[in-house]
Structures are given as C-alpha cells and as structure tokens.
Amino acid sequence: MSRIGNAPIAIPKGVKIQTEGQTIGVEGPKGKLSFVVPDPISFAIEDQVISFKRPNDQRTVRALHGMARAMTNNMVVGCSEGFKRTLEIIGVGYRATVKGRNIDLTLGFSHPISYPLPDGVDAEVDKEGKLHLSSANKALLGSVAADIRRYRPPEPYKGKGVRYQGERIIRKEGKARGKK
C-alpha cells in the first residue's frame, strides 16, 4: 500500500506558500498555482516543510491524503522548476509551427489545424520538428499534449503521427503477399 501522503514536502528557496482555510497557494519563479485541499485532510507548514495528516484510515480518506500531497508537490515543483513535455511529429509533410498563442499543425489532412494554447503553457518547435511544451501546471500540460496527440495518433504500420518523446509504438506487419 502506498504511503505517499505521509511524505513531507520540502519548500525550495524562491517559492512562497500562502494558505487561506483549506486553500494552498504556491508562487515561484515559474508561476503561481493554488489547490483546495479536500475537507477531511489537514496540513501544517513548519520550517519550510509542508506535512499532511488524515483523521482516520478509511479507504477514501487515504486516497484523498495521497492525492492532496501529490497535487501540492506538483505545484511546488512546477512553480520552482516547471514541467516539460516533448512531442515528436513523424511523417512526410507533417510539421508544427508556433504563431503567437497558437500551434499550427499540418498532419496530412486537407486543412491545417490551429490549436490555441491555454494560458500558462508555452510551446516551441526545434529544427528536428519536435514540439516542446512547458508549463508550471503538470495536469494542464498533460492535457494539452494529449489533445495535440489526439489529432493524429501514431499508426502501427508506418509509425506516422504525433507521439510523446520516448513512446514506443508496437509495429504491425502489412498484408502478406498472396502465395500461389
């Protein structure tokens, strides 16, 4: 059984924590985030360390305990270091360009796709055609990366499409030639 909720969170230098009731606000060099801690879970900040406590060992309370700690840790890491996600665009003529707050995707459709970036997510394309996304909010970053991948997921025959960096695609063999 996981004990994630029991682990304390060290607050790095340059990160400020504000609390108001059950709301934790984190502000750092990469951004500002907040999270409402679920009701049965309590937290305390002492000596640049945040710790979470639960009132009992019910299954739902244990789950909320671990989730509250993980969400707060993601906010602290995101506001201090930030998160990155890289998408590889593979295919002849497939490309991405960043124009202002939009990502223009050419993925083999009869029309280009324009994806508006939400506030808090930045994008850049390198010379190899990789799309680098960065944000302080881990959940938002994952959602944006999944949305972009969903336009043209990698197909198993040639491997063309949009994939996460390091994602392994299980390849299939094409139709076997007829044997006479």
The domain that holds 18 is classified in CATH as: 3.90.930.12
* Domain enclosing residue 127, as ranges: 83-164
Tell me how far the alpha carbon of residue 157 is from its chain's centroid.
Answer: 28
Structural domain includes residue 59: yes
- Residue-wise pLDDT tens for the chain (180 aa)? 568 989 999 999 999 999 999 999 999 999 999 999 999 999 999 999 999 999 999 999 999 999 999 999 999 999 999 999 999 999 999 999 999 999 999 999 999 999 999 999 999 999 888 999 999 999 999 999 999 999 999 999 999 999 999 999 999 988 876 565
Q: How many domains are contained in the chain? A: 2
Task: Tell if the pTM clears 0.95, that is, is over it.
Answer: no
Q: Are residues 75 and 114 in the same domain?
A: no
